[in-house]
Structure 1
Amino acid sequence: MTLDIALTFGVLLLAIIFFITEILRPDLVALIVLVLLVVFGLVSPGDALAGFSNPAVVAIWAMFILSSGLARTGVASNLGNLVMRVAGETERRLLTVLMSSTALLSAFMNNIGVAAMFLPVTIDIARRTKRVASRLLIPMAYGSLLGGMLVLFGTSSNLVVSGFVENTGLPPLGIFYFTPIGVAIFLVVVIYINLIGHRFLPQRQSPQPVSPTQIPPAQDLQNLYGLEERLAMLVLPDDTLLAGKTLAESRISKALGLNILSVKRKDGKRQAPDAHLELEGGDQLLVLGRLDQIEKIIRSPMFTVETEVPTISRLLSENIGLAEIQISDTSEFVGKTLVSAGFRQKFGVNVLANRRRDLIRRTNLQNMELETGDVLLIEGQFDNLAALSDQPGYRILSLEELGDYHLEDRLSFIDIPEGSALAGQTLTEAKLGSAYGITVLDIIRVGREFLFPEPDMRLEVGDQLIVSGHPTDIEVLNGLQKIQVEKDVKFNLRDMENGSLSFVEVILSPYTSLVGKTLKQIRFREKYNVSVLAIWHGDRPYRTGLQDLPLQYGDAFLCYGPRAGFELLAKERDYIVLRQDVQEKPRLKKAPIAGLIMLAVVAVVIVGWLPISIAAIAGSAMMVLTGCLTMEEAHKSIDWKSIFLIAAMMPLGFAMRDSGAAQYLADIVVRTAGPFGNFAILGGLMTLTLLINPFIPAVVNAVIMTPIGLATAASLGVSPYPFAMGIAYMVAACFMTPVSHPANLLVMSPGGYRFTDYLKNGIPIAILVLLVSLLLIPLIFPF
């Protein structure tokens, strides 16, 4: 083994570890691999960048645009509507027609996009036929994967394999090379699903009669997400201190971690929980969430407020002072809140006020978006203040210069009494800032003062705090302590639906950019005027702490809000709204044009006029020129994460070929399986490819295994095409786990699937794909 081979294997092993552990994003891992290959001299800089201009990569991004053109003109949705008309009532016919439709579309469109488009269609079919969606969603997703095996551009990995074949100086794979075996695989899998596989499909939701508008029954969603366990009624006393305050000002939602579903007045009228709705004495608030926090508040006072008002001089010492900084137009904080920017954690200072032009804000600063020109008044240790000295407008302030801020108007003494829910909590756990808009500036304990207390400092009974906050915020907290709670509420969420408000499920799309972010950070409620009542996260629903739950692929939101909000969500690439009638209206008049453009692309490739990359670019340009989609929509349709992943990983394949690493592994394969013949060697490589599939992205698997397959063919002195085709089919066989392919993960939450549900059908189907392709490849592509 040479040094180059060892280095190549080292880079390969590092990449596989990162892909499996998911420590870093896959596209970032690919870029790191690219750089390492150049640094170690395994590829030249030109070869390292060649992936970005590789015909296969170009064809992939152009196919994203063509796929979007078919979707936005209604070509695909029209086929979905046809499915609903001809699918019939029997489950076998439903499964066959559904899988056939998704497979046919996936042959010419991106299979993730097809699965996303058919998700609400499949759920509607399930409800129309009074079946559970879990009986149909996995077959639908599998159908989209099978479609990738029908033609060359059916899936990105096919094009990657073809690109490596062409790179060796051989003719690339033909557009219909995959079709004969792909059709055979599809038929065998459909027969298996209908005869055997359907027995392993779970039935986890009770079918409900569908409404004429095809809206999911609210009671069905209530049962699925287990909402009844978290429902309660909050009753405001007639003399409540919250009367006249809006829901937003009451802080019931933020302070108590509750979702307010509706407000019932004394006269029996029910109001939507608008943030600007003013509360009245006697209001009954239907809420969702854990009640232990409010029970602690009600059980005994959290704190008492003293009449004496502290002076600002008490907040300063020889180590702690005040300063001003200004937010410039190039500042990293523009458009962010203090919370999302992590201002306190990053700089170790408190923000006491924000001067915006002629207006000074001294309370509720945590969730206020910062703008260019804002002047922040900050308090902290002088060392921490000095760390901000490079900020525009930085200057240390004296007491005499604070007059305009009127800080004393917002300062109060509060005491922690016996039995307070705050006793024993850290300042972070108490959430006085995020929940109530109150900032703790000083803690006085048994004669000792703790100016600028750390977030992990615990409060104790008898503590006296100097806090900054609006008097009405403290009044609100006193009002919360007098709320009455009624548990064990029996309530049907259907009663809350009317012409404008409804319950709808929303799924994070496979293309989402929101993974790792929280609802609070993306300001979901403010953007869409829609409340998230529960999140199906992993394999169970979460109904509390939703605002701070990091989102992940496949998360499903149970939302409540107006139609306009869901229409806005449906336009966003980050979400899939599981309701047909709020989807963006397709450009139906352009459907024939889009269909003809796609047929023309296929035709010119078949007759050999243009290579597939150029034909796909031409088709993409025609989609825009003819108005099937706009240039902005074309840009948005491309999954750039996938493009970067493929383009940056292709040099690894070149390195394996040029360093001799692929030949080294090929020689091992030939020595091990050679005595059993070419058929056994092909079977061994295909099995290895299939086993790797669940752990790394399919295109990466193609990049790794294709050079090995081609080198094996060269060692044997046989045609490389059987090995290229075998690896391509195995790379596309992503059936075994939900994380094997985004289409599988997409249906996990709406179907209520568990990991084992994929194993039960995915493993037998993957084995069938292996056997069928292994038997037919030598017949159609002789050694």
Structure 2
Amino acid sequence: MGYMPGIPPYHALGAMVLTLAMFIAFARGRIATEIVSLVTIVLIALGLFFFPLEGQGQTQGLALAFSGFGHPALITICALMVMGRGLVVTGALEPATRLLASVWKLNSQLGMLVSLLLAMLLSMMVNDTPVLVLLLPVFVGLAERGAMAASKTLIPLNAAVLIGGMATTIGTSTNLLVVSIAADLGMEPMRVFDFTPIVAVAALVALPYLWLVMPRLLPDNGQAFTRTRRTFSATLRIDDDSELIGQTPRDLLEKLPEGFAFEGSIDRQITANSRLPVAGTHKALEDAVRILKARVAPAWVVERINAAARSQASDVVVVEMAVTAESRLVGLTIPSSGVAGQFGVAVLGIHQQNRGPDRGRHEYSELQLKPGDVLLVMGPLAEIEEFAESDRLLMLEGVVEVPRRSKAVMAAAIMFGSVATASVGLWPIAIAALVGAILMFATGCVKFDRVGRALSANVIVLVAASIAIGRLILESGAAAWLGALLSAGLQFLPPAMIVAAVMLFVTLLTNFASNAAAATVGTPIAFSIAERLGLPVEPLVLAVLFGCNLCYATPIAYQTNMLIMEEGRYRFGDYLRTGLPLVVLMATTLSLMLVFFYM
């Protein structure tokens, strides 16, 4: 049935050497991923220009090298990034994060379980990285407020995101890559939810480990994780029609978010147009304004800011800015400085290192500014930059966009519509995602001039290089040679063991190199093995897809692994200790389910 292959053709040998070099460069991490990807594309182009494949000309080799940039998989990935950006900037996912915080308050174990399930569900529809970026500050904040240490929650959370991401064709860019390459090779195209039941079973098997065992295997780095956050003095402004009129601040204490407090007397009655001294972190002030339906800036300033943003087609942002010794604001109060009228920005609050014994007796607007004070400023970015330059202020924090919540339902509907129409086979996911991205632009959910924030250049060139190297491996004969080699060793094993072996082979690659590169190497090999051993191709392709997602065992296996490393103060061994059992558990369950469903 099988035989040991001889020496590979020189094109195949060159393709394998280039692929191995790319793996090593990714694993060492000394050269940026995008540089490695671009160099790989250039080397393929040069190699095939001077040494074309048999039966091909020089221009065909160049077309192969650059084919990834026009591939439907890359267009789909970019469109999904835009839609994911729309969900974030409109605040469409905020209800989910607020739900988490409320459940954690009730019970930490229940909160952990709900968090893991929510992470899995969200990452089925939205790319893994945005989901983790959204949930990360929630878990950081929970840890700081006395919940379970972040070091015990972030690796399980990341694993849940990765498990959810493997459940649909759009869960990760790697999934799209595998499915697209498989379709190029002749396999029937897979729809969005075709293999979701298989992953759902494996997720249920893995969930007790993530929930109850994995946190116990991780260190408690809670002390190292604590950090101080600036607390801003502000004024809560009550409108004429507010529901708070007639109540006292004491009546509202149970509604208040963590990190927010009323200053001064909490027993005075709230009346129309009340101005209440308060204090809180940036996030706490934002949450309090939403919960209490009040304002921390004069209405006329907010209206002016929104009008300017609409006329400029720009976003409203919030920035923390430090007052320098050279600033003209030193010694002035916010009203006497005239910044609202001059620059069209709103100072929402002031953080002072040292406040006197009169803390809470005066509104923040009565405080005289000193060097080192930090202002929380809202406005269009152009106006904020002009304010900083003119009044000698230092921008401390990255620009935080104010969510366009009026567009949240629209953004969620666009995402749901794109996924739903693709999942029922109305049209390919590439078209559905592109239409969804266009609608995000057309409805204003995502600003076209901010599209650079949604797209990752790193991912774009990585996917393009991976598609090129995958085609090279196939067309040079390397896939057939490697498939024959693996078939010779696997031919006497039962189907479940063959599937597991392919999955673990790809898992080994993806944990020490790029999962996109592992996908492009593994998919053609899976086709070759299926042909040689007379097996259906679908389970072996899915074994490659799942193997690319079993990237739990090393910090370099996936970008989200690196993202949590610093936040949780993790070491390499923490990933290995918790990730290897999960890899074994998932690979065993998925292999059995693939055999059950397809063989």
Q: Which residue of 2 aligns with 1:182?
A: 199
Q: Which residue of 2 aligns with 1:274?
A: 324
* Deviating more after overlay: 10-19 vs 146-155: 10-19
Q: Which residue of 2 aligns with 1:31?
A: 38
* Deviating more after overlay: 628-637 vs 772-781: 628-637
- 2:506, 2:548 within 8 Å by CA — same for their partners in 1? yes
Structure 1, residues 330-361: CA drift from partner, whole Å, max 9, x if none?
A: xxxxxxxxxxxxxxxxxxxxxxxxxxxxxxxx
User: SS of the residue aligned with 1:37?
Assistant: helix
- 1:103, 1:143 within 8 Å by CA — same for their partners in 2? yes
Closer/same/farther in 2, CA of residues 495 and 750 from structure 1, 3 Å limit: farther
* Deviating more after overlay: 156-165 vs 683-692: 683-692
Greater helix proportion: 2
Closer/same/farther in 2, CA of residues 197 and 131 from structure 1, 3 Å limit: closer
1:690 aligns to 2:507 (yes or no): yes
Closer/same/farther in 2, CA of residues 35 and 616 from structure 1, 3 Å limit: same
Q: Which residue of 1 aligns with 2:468?
A: 651
Closer/same/farther in 2, CA of residues 616 and 5 from structure 1, 3 Å limit: same
Offset of residue 609 of structure 1: 2.2
- 1:64, 1:638 within 8 Å by CA — same for their partners in 2? yes
1:563 aligns to 2:391 (yes or no): no
Equivalent residues in 2 for 1:123-134 (5 A)? 123-134=140-151
Q: Which residue of 2 aligns with 1:776?
A: 593
Q: Which residue of 2 aligns with 1:101?
A: 118
Q: Which residue of 2 aligns with 1:53?
A: 70
Amino acid at match of 1:6: L
User: SS of the residue aligned with 1:718?
Assistant: coil
Amino acid at match of 1:83: L
Offset of residue 131 of structure 1: 3.4
Structure 1, residues 566-609: CA drift from partner, whole Å, max 9, x if none?
A: 998xx99xxxx9999x9532111211111111111122212322
Amino acid at match of 1:649: S
Structure 1: how far apart are the matches of 2:354 and 2:578?
Answer: 38
1:4 aligns to 2:4 (yes or no): no
User: SS of the residue aligned with 1:738?
Assistant: coil
Structure 1: how far apart are the matches of 2:484 and 2:178?
Answer: 21
Structure 1, residues 235-284: CA drift from partner, whole Å, max 9, x if none?
A: xxxxxxxxxxxxxxxxxxxxxxxxxxxxxxxxxxxxx8834389xxxxxx
Equivalent residues in 2 for 1:727-742 (5 A)? 727-742=544-559
Q: Which residue of 2 aligns with 1:202?
A: 219
Structure 1, residues 542-566: CA drift from partner, whole Å, max 9, x if none?
A: xxxxxxxxxxxxxxxxxx9543499
> Which residue of 425, 435, 456 corresponds with 1:618?
435
Structure 1: how far apart are the matches of 2:579 and 2:396?
Answer: 25
- 1:215, 1:579 within 8 Å by CA — same for their partners in 2? no
1:75 aligns to 2:92 (yes or no): yes
Offset of residue 721 of structure 1: 0.6
Offset of residue 129 of structure 1: 4.7
Matched residues, percent identical? 29
Equivalent residues in 2 for 1:108-257 (5 A)? 108-206=125-223, 214=258
> Which residue of 496, 515, 520 corresponds with 2:353?
496
1:749 aligns to 2:562 (yes or no): no
Structure 2: how far apart are the matches of 1:126 and 1:113?
Answer: 21
Closer/same/farther in 2, CA of residues 132 and 195 from structure 1, 3 Å limit: closer
Structure 2: how far apart are the matches of 1:22 and 1:39?
Answer: 24
- 2:167, 2:193 within 8 Å by CA — same for their partners in 1? yes
Q: Which residue of 1 aligns with 2:484?
A: 667
Offset of residue 154 of structure 1: 0.1
Equivalent residues in 2 for 1:417-456 (5 A)? none
Equivalent residues in 2 for 1:592-607 (5 A)? 592-607=409-424
- 1:663, 1:711 within 8 Å by CA — same for their partners in 2? yes
Structure 2: how far apart are the matches of 1:593 and 1:748?
Answer: 35
- 1:87, 1:93 within 8 Å by CA — same for their partners in 2? yes
Structure 1, residues 516-554: CA drift from partner, whole Å, max 9, x if none?
A: xxxxxxxxxxxxx999xxxxxxxxxxxxxxxxxxxxxxx
User: SS of the residue aligned with 1:276?
Assistant: coil
- 2:87, 2:408 within 8 Å by CA — same for their partners in 1? yes
- 1:160, 1:702 within 8 Å by CA — same for their partners in 2? yes
User: SS of the residue aligned with 2:125?
Assistant: coil
- 1:120, 1:579 within 8 Å by CA — same for their partners in 2? no
Structure 1: how far apart are the matches of 2:530 and 2:449?
Answer: 44
Q: Which residue of 2 aligns with 1:16?
A: 23
Offset of residue 96 of structure 1: 1.1
Offset of residue 68 of structure 1: 0.6
Equivalent residues in 2 for 1:307-318 (5 A)? none
Offset of residue 23 of structure 1: 3.8
Q: Which residue of 2 aligns with 1:706?
A: 523
Offset of residue 88 of structure 1: 4.6
Gaps of 5+ in 1: 217-271, 279-493, 500-528, 532-559
Structure 1: how far apart are the matches of 2:106 and 2:91?
Answer: 25
Structure 2: how far apart are the matches of 1:684 and 1:742?
Answer: 25
Closer/same/farther in 2, CA of residues 729 and 697 from structure 1, 3 Å limit: same
Structure 1, residues 633-684: CA drift from partner, whole Å, max 9, x if none?
A: 2332011211111112212111111111111111111111211233322221
- 1:119, 1:578 within 8 Å by CA — same for their partners in 2? no
Structure 1, residues 2-48: CA drift from partner, whole Å, max 9, x if none?
A: 12211212222222222222343222222222232233324622222
Amino acid at match of 1:690: T
Structure 2: how far apart are the matches of 1:720 and 1:641?
Answer: 31
Q: Which residue of 2 aligns with 1:403?
A: none
Structure 1: how far apart are the matches of 2:124 and 2:396?
Answer: 24
Amino acid at match of 1:633: R
What is the TM-score with the length of structure 1 in the denominator? 0.53
Closer/same/farther in 2, CA of residues 152 and 29 from structure 1, 3 Å limit: same
Structure 1: how far apart are the matches of 2:455 and 2:90?
Answer: 17
Closer/same/farther in 2, CA of residues 587 and 37 from structure 1, 3 Å limit: same
What is the TM-score with the length of structure 2 in the denominator? 0.69
Offset of residue 696 of structure 1: 0.9
Equivalent residues in 2 for 1:364-383 (5 A)? none
Structure 2: how far apart are the matches of 1:121 and 1:680?
Answer: 41
Closer/same/farther in 2, CA of residues 562 and 214 from structure 1, 3 Å limit: farther
Closer/same/farther in 2, CA of residues 88 and 52 from structure 1, 3 Å limit: same
Structure 1: how far apart are the matches of 2:558 and 2:197?
Answer: 24
Structure 2: how far apart are the matches of 1:645 and 1:83?
Answer: 34
- 1:68, 1:637 within 8 Å by CA — same for their partners in 2? yes
Structure 1: how far apart are the matches of 2:547 and 2:380?
Answer: 39
Q: How many residues align?
A: 448
Structure 2: how far apart are the matches of 1:586 and 1:10?
Answer: 48
User: SS of the residue aligned with 1:563?
Assistant: strand
Structure 2: how far apart are the matches of 1:705 and 1:566?
Answer: 50
- The alignment yields a C-alpha RMSD, in angstroms, of 3.3
Offset of residue 729 of structure 1: 0.8
Structure 1, residues 58-78: CA drift from partner, whole Å, max 9, x if none?
A: 111110001011111111122
